[in-house]
Amino acid sequence: MPPNQLGGSYREMISTAPSRNKRRRWVPLWYGGGILFIGSLWLFAARVTKSSLILPGPGETVEALISLVQHPRFFPALGASLGRVGLALLIVFPLSLMVGIPAALYKPFGAFFKPLFTLIGATPVLSIILIAFLWFGQERTPVFAAVLMVFPVLTANVIAGIQQLDQGLKEVVQVYRLSPVRSFRAFIFPSIVPYLLGGLQSGLSLCWKVVVASEVLLQPRYGLGTGMQQAKAMLETPDLFAWTVVTVALAGFMEACLYWIRRYETHYR
């Protein structure tokens, strides 16, 4: 270790600890300031354009949101999109474990799946949605497209997790002859959980985007994207904004859930 690096970490431990705490106390304030900034920018732009067709202001959007929530189709739409995202995650989670673990352990298996991942990565999301529509119809395609897009992300994380397995603990597993099942439960799975959750964090926002995009394109009976597309067709821009706010809020809510799961997961550290 070079001496300056040692000195740096040493100094950090002693002298900057209180000032760093002080700085951390300001973080929520700056966060709130950022929200205020976006809000006032929005308000200002809405005042300038003076047209609810082009850019409805925050007030109009909230009004549209309130009437939207009272609409009988709102909660089915919300539930449908949430269900699609949930179902996609439920499918992609075991799938990426089943492919990622052997792909990390056996090189040929990994090489076999590599072209598939490259293909998925290079294909535009929209063409996947349009092609899948021909096979699965408008109700199931959003789930399929989301699974297909999130699968490589999550699998890459699983592979990284397996490659980082602690070799010392692996010897413990070998010495005490733990069964394959026990070794998975006690060693492999806990080792890759941080990687899985990290992959899930990027996978989750991707999942929302793909599900909503395919709903906009394919118009299933219920869905946030369906609502957006209809609002756009009727030139109800405040409604379009309201649907978007709902989507952002839902995605944010799920991300917050994930944050709490990650907080719990690290309790032993």
Six-digit token string for 83: 């269900």
- By CB under 8 A, which span of 20-28, 94-102, 173-181, 208-216 interacts with another protein? 173-181
3-state secondary structure 236-252: CHHHHHHHHHHHHHHHH
C-alpha separations of 189 from 18, 61, 150, 176 in Å: 38, 45, 20, 18
Smallest separation, CB 156 to another protein (Å) = 23
Q: Is 264 in the site for another protein (CB under 8 A)?
A: no
Binding segment (CB under 8 A) for another protein, from list 29-37, 165-173, 209-217, 254-262: 165-173
Minimum distance of another protein from residue 27's CB (angstroms): 26
Q: Apex CA 160: angle with CA 156 and CA 161, to 5°?
A: 115
Q: Is 175 in the site for another protein (CB under 8 A)?
A: yes
- To another protein, the closest distance from the beta carbon of 174 in angstroms equals 6
Q: How far apart are CA 48 and CA 56, in angstroms?
A: 11
Residue of 176, 235, 260, 263 that binds another protein (CB under 8 A): 176
Nearer Cβ to another protein (30/268):
268
Distance CA 198, CA 157 (A): 8
| Binding window for another protein (CB under 8 A); candidates: 68-76, 92-100, 184-192, 240-248 | 184-192
Whichever of 170 and 232 has its CB closer to another protein, that residue is 170
Does position 168 interact with another protein (CB under 8 A)? The reply is yes
184 forms part of the interface with another protein (CB under 8 A): no
- CA 60-62-66 angle, to 5 degrees, is 115
Contact 100, 159 (CB under 8 A): yes
Provide the 3-class DSSP secondary structure of residue 217. Answer: helix
Q: Which residues bind another protein (CB under 8 A)?
A: 168-169, 171-172, 174-179, 182, 186-187, 190, 268-269
